[in-house]
């Protein structure tokens, strides 16, 4: 039976460290760090994520400023707000919640954010600094996953790591951070030949593709460490019957509530094979927010 990597508990520990850092600033007579959160439109999932971020700010003593813009906001208006926040000395971090409504150019907006305030770590300057191994804001999810893997003493040096997914938010930066710790890293994706065979070679498997239950138990090397970044809502009972065969309680929830959250990995099957695994929910999700709080505190110290 796999060890559960308790992302929620680890995130609490990270948040406690941030809280201590904020208190140390206040004790020196400095102001609290300040995060500006920009939400365009009313996407329900984004509203939930933003609420979580604002609550984490309150819990750690970080000041948050919410900027809610209507769904029909144009690019110029969004970029003007970003410029205004860039030049506001009272704002340390700027986060533009993604995805943006159709018609807005997310990349162009993210490129407008001053790199020092880019607490998501999505600006090309921060991505370049990561590539070069120089200090800069690292994307929150991969950096918090690394923080947790180190805390659990997961061996990284020389380990064979497979990262499933090549997004700029998770897959690519995750691969670079693992490389920095001397892992031998392969990035796999939808065009990879023999995905199951490749995954079976991994001592560390990070799944970040947003495909519910893609990774089967038989894809996992016995004893491997599995990090499941996927957060997917499944409503299709036929799909649920396939991917939750080893998780009767999830299937029951799906049938009674009409939907259930799950990762990219078939958790019930993986538990029997893996050495350690993150659950969904309660694994990587809380870590992402903790990573954001860490970045915001760091931004206030620049």
Active centre residues (catalytic): 53, 97, 120
Residue 135: DSSP 8-state: S
Query: For the sheet containing 204-207, what is the strand order?
Result: 3-4, 276-277, 225-228, 204-207, 160-164, 184-188
Structure tokens at 151: 């805390």
User: Which residue bears the tokens 């993986």?
Assistant: 270
Closest CB to ligand GUN: residue number: 98
Residue 230 CB, shortest distance to ligand GUN, in Å, is 12
Specify the 3-state DSSP secondary structure of 108.
Answer: helix
Helix, strand, coil % in the chain, rounded to nearest 5: 45, 15, 40
| Nearer of residues 167 and 186 to ligand GUN, judged by Cβ | 167
Residue 263 CB, shortest distance to ligand GUN, in Å, is 15
| Nearer of residues 96 and 265 to ligand GUN, judged by Cβ | 96
| Nearer of residues 95 and 270 to ligand GUN, judged by Cβ | 95
| Nearer of residues 22 and 96 to ligand GUN, judged by Cβ | 96
Residue 244 CB, shortest distance to ligand GUN, in Å, is 25
| Nearer of residues 114 and 246 to ligand GUN, judged by Cβ | 114
Rounded to the nearest 10 degrees, how much is the dihedral formed by the CA atoms of 206, 153, 282, 274?
60
Residue 47 CB, shortest distance to ligand GUN, in Å, is 12
Binding stretches for ligand GUN (CB under 6 A): 95-98, 120, 140, 169, 288
Residues 177, 295, 148, 196, CA torsion sign: negative
Helix and strand counts by DSSP (H, E) for the chain:
12, 11
Residue 110 CB, shortest distance to ligand GUN, in Å, is 8
Specify the 3-state DSSP secondary structure of 77.
Answer: helix
Q: Distance between CA atoms of 239 and 59, rounded to whole angstroms? A: 38
């Amino acid at each position: 039976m796999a060890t559960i990597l308790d992302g929620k508990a680890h995130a609490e520990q990270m948040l406690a460290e941030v809280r201590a850092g904020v208190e140390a600033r206040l004790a020196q007579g400095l102001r609290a760090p300040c995060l500006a959160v920009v939400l365009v439109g009313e996407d329900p999932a984004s509203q939930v994520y933003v609420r979580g971020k604002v609550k984490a700010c309150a819990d750690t003593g970080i000041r948050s400023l919410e900027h809610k813009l209507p769904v029909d906001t144009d690019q110029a208006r969004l970029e003007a707000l970003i410029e205004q926040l860039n030049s506001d000395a009272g704002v340390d971090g700027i986060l533009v919640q993604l995805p943006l409504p159709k018609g807005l150019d997310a990349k162009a907006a993210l490129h407008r954010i001053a790199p020092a305030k880019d607490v998501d770590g999505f600006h090309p300057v921060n991505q370049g600094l990561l590539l070069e191994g120089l200090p800069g804001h690292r994307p929150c999810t991969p950096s918090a996953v690394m923080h947790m893997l180190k805390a659990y003493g997961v061996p990284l040096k020389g380990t064979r790591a497979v990262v499933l997914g090549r997004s700029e938010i998770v897959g690519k930066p995750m691969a670079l951070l693992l490389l920095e710790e001397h892992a031998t890293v392969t990035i796999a994706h939808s065009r990879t030949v023999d995905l199951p065979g490749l995954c079976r070679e991994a001592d560390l498997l990070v799944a970040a593709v947003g495909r519910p239950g893609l990774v089967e138990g038989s894809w996992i090397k016995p004893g491997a460490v599995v990090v499941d970044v996927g957060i997917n809502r499944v409503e299709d009972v036929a799909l649920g019957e396939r991917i939750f065969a080893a998780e009767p309680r999830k299937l029951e929830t799906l049938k009674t509530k009409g939907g259930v959250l799950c990762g990219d990995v078939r958790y019930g099957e993986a538990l029997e094979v893996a050495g350690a695994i993150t659950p969904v929910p309660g694994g990587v999700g809380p870590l992402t927010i903790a990573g954001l709080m860490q970045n915001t505190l760091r931004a206030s110290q620049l």
